[in-house]
Structure 1
Amino acid sequence: MKIVYSILGTYNAGGMERVLANKANYLAKLGHELTIVTTDQKAREPNFELHPQIRQVDLGINYTDDDGLGIFRKMLSYKRRQRIHRERLDAFLMQLKADIVISMFDHDVSFMHELKDGSKKVLEIHFSRFKRLLYDRKGLWKIVNTWRTAQDLALARKYDHFVVLTHEDLTYWKGLKNCVVIPNAQTFSPPQRAALIERRAIAVGRFDYQKGFDQLISIWKVIHARCPDWKLDIYGQGPLKEAMEAQIHELGLEQQISLHAPVKNIMDVYMQSSLALMSSRYEGLPMALLEAQACGLPMVSYACKCGPRDIIKPGKNGFLIAEGDQQDFADKACRLMENQQRRQQMGKVAWEMAESFDEERIMRQWILLFERLMKGEKR
């Protein structure tokens, strides 16, 4: 099959980019013809290694050049970039004649379903249904995001198939007959699970508002008072790094919390940790939890929309915490820090439950979906 993925760029070290690389590499190894079309790559190398047979094409739209503009200037520029984007993507797809074209719910979502290149159009989303309403924007931006959230439902209905990551999120897309759940696959499957003896907790994610690391740093102040010999490693990058460093300094936690740049060998870091923490305000299906579980780490996470509920079974492989309840978060984390036997029990269950997100199992679902679309089947 000729398969096209359309995304803003592959240069980021985010979960969506990692998932795309994993899926594209898997399909390319099977002999399918893969193309990744981007809008804002600007000749940057992909952050995650791609199979040499995968073709990469950038349309040069550069939406991110408008970051920081006021709402009215940004809306005018966006309309122009959308027109150029549509023209260039349409021309490329008409020439390529792909079988399947997948939008990752990016800037192409408003028009890709209308392109008449003969391909089946699939839409996949890596965040929750109400992600735009969780940005914490005010004024006109809040009105715009509320309107766009309402439009998302109408747009998703127009695609041949719409894929969400969790059963929780499926319930929020009511009335869509073309909607199906296919979760992310875990990135790796270590030959053995983590020993869970190091007094180290790990958190992974972009340093931005979504990941809620401001709350996690505050929580660690409470944890440190009760479990002073434990350390927290946070891996990521992003615009809030300086704010996080300032908060760590203000709370006097420089010796207890370390910020690290993303690393290629993140599996080794998980294997040297004993507890995974996630403080996100919203998610899709967090790779950080899937990867931690694959390594046999117990997890403590806010029960945000969406994803943690599909991974963590409370009391078995970790704990789910009501959003914003920092005291309970600290208490549950400390319970695991103070009880190695409990950590081991939960880690073993996590290791066993990781099989549900095995790459072979997940990719079989994608291939079956593509084959059904090629045959003209809707479901």
Structure 2
Amino acid sequence: MKVLLIQGGFGVGGAEKVAAMIAAHRAQLGDEVTVMGFDMPDDGSYFPYPESVRLLLPDGAQKSHPLARFQMIRRTIRTMRPDVVLSFLTKVNVLSLAAAIGTGAPVVISERNNPRAQNAHPIWRHAQNLLVHRAACAVMQTERARADLPASVQASSTVIPNLCAPDPDHPAQPDSSGNRLVAVGRLDKQKGFDVLLQAMVSIVDALPDVSLTIHGEGQERQALEALRSELNLEDHVALPGASPSPGAWLSEADLLVMPSRFEGFPNVLAEATVSGLPAVSTDCDFGPREIILEGENGVLVPVDDAPALANAVIQLMQDSALRAHMSKQATINRDRLAPERILADWDQVIARATVG
């Protein structure tokens, strides 16, 4: 079988991680797998791929506009003639569905974020809602996200959460007497790191030895660095850029803090909980409520509420017994998000799409 996966690029991100794992799995099954993207880091794909998987970065893709990307996708589908196309994220979904018209290639789209909240022109969401009827299947990550689809296509959609397993190279090693906080994600308004910095003022007052490392890169770096200076947090907050390798941050923290304003299904939160790293997260749409069992493997707080976020972190960091209990609750998500289980769900979607 010929499988074409299409994503925004080959950098850091939840969609990129899942695409890489699906590609490797299908290649192992014997499929001819091509992964297409429109941006490539200077040192190559952030997530590894087997040598048998072809990575496709069309000429001129990195500075291309949507119409050019549509043409690149259509040309690739016509040339490759895949048995199935798997597309990730709103804009790519729209372009892939439109590009496949008249080619006979079934397209499975996968929404990885919250289209109602993400910083994109509303036309992309409207276009996806119009074109989603052409999809062989729409894969959503939570039931609440599926409920956001047009009612006419909800029955033909399916829910598949992100696959996640403990990282054997970077085991979580939280110290019950530790003081290391970590946050991970793009330096973007979506991730709420500005709220976390505001919360850190109170956290540092209560826990003078605490440190916070925010792993990520993005357009908000200068604003966050300025806010860090304004709040006199330079001695407590580090912004070193992206984690040197996927999952490396797990071994360097005692507590994950995720202050996001919205999500699709946050990989970092799943990675922390299956690895036994306690977490404090906002109860944003979508995902955290499906990952965190309150008081068992983490704590949920309201969105955009710095005092609530600070109080939750302080209380948890001062309660070593509760954090030790949370560290032992990795099985809550480990079985549900096991790669073999999630990949089997993707196999079923692909099988239905190619038969239909």
Determine if the TM-score, normalized by the shorter chain, exceeds 0.5: yes
> Paired residues, what number?
350
Structure 1: distance between partners of 2:313 and 2:39: 40
1:170 aligns with 2:149: no
Aligned alpha-carbon RMSD (Å): 2.3
Cα distance in 2 for partners of 1:148, 1:91 equals 22
User: Are positions 1:276 and 2:291 aligned together?
Assistant: no
Instruction: Tell me if 1:196 matches 2:172.
Output: no
- If the length of structure 1 is used for normalisation, what is the TM-score? 0.85
**How far, CA to CA, are the matches of 2:330 and 2:166 in structure 1?**
14
Aligned 1:97-176 pairs, distance under 5 A: 97-113=81-97, 114-132=100-118, 135=119, 145-175=121-151, 176=153
Contact 1:196 1:272 in 2 (8 A): no
Give runs of aligned pairs for residues 300-379 of structure 1, distance below 5 A. 300-376=280-356
- Over 3 Å counting, the alpha-carbon distance change for 1:255 and 1:108 in structure 2 is closer
Q: Percent of counterpart pairs with the same letter?
A: 27
**1:260 counterpart (240, 244, 258):** 240
How far apart are residue 33 of structure 1 and its match? 1.2
Q: 1:304 to 1:22 in 2, by over 3 A?
A: same
Task: Tell me by how many angstroms 1:149 deviates.
Answer: 2.9
Looking at structure 2, the residues matched to 86 and 13 of structure 1 have their Cα atoms a distance apart, in angstroms, of: 23
Q: Distance in 1 between matches of 2:306 and 2:300?
A: 12
| Structure 1 residues 340 and 370: CA distance shift in structure 2, 3 A | same
The one-letter code sitting in structure 2 at the alignment partner of 1:194 is Q
Map of 1:73 onto structure 2: none
Q: Which moved further from structure 2: 14-23 or 263-272?
A: 263-272
Q: Which residue of 1 is the match for residue 8 of structure 2?
A: 8
Residue identity matched to 1:51: P
Q: What are structure 2's unaligned runs of at least 5 residues?
A: none
Unaligned runs of 5+ in 1: 66-77, 136-140
Map Cα deviations across residues 4-25 of structure 1 (whole Å, 9 max, x no partner). 0112221x22222222212212
Given residue 79 of structure 2, which amino acid in structure 1 is its aligned partner? Q
Q: How many Å separate the matches in 2 of 1:275 and 1:42? A: 29
Distance 1:8 1:226 in 2: 42
Instruction: Report the TM-score when normalising by structure 2.
Output: 0.90
SS of equivalent residue, structure 2 residue 102? coil
1:229-269 per-residue CA deviation (whole Å, 9 max, x = no partner) reads: 22111111112222212211211111111112223445343
Residue number in structure 1 paired with 2:188:
208
The answer (yes or no) to whether the contact 1:9–1:41 under 8 Å persists in 2 is yes
Residues 165/64 of structure 1: CA separation in 2 closer, same or farther (3 Å cut): farther
Structure 1 pair 209/193, CA: closer, same or farther in 2 (3 Å)? closer
Aligned counterpart, 1:35: 34
SS at the partner of 2:182?
strand
State the match for 2:54 in structure 1.
Answer: 55
Partner of residue 68, structure 1: none
Partner AA of 2:161 in structure 1: P
Match of 2:75 among 67, 91, 94: 91
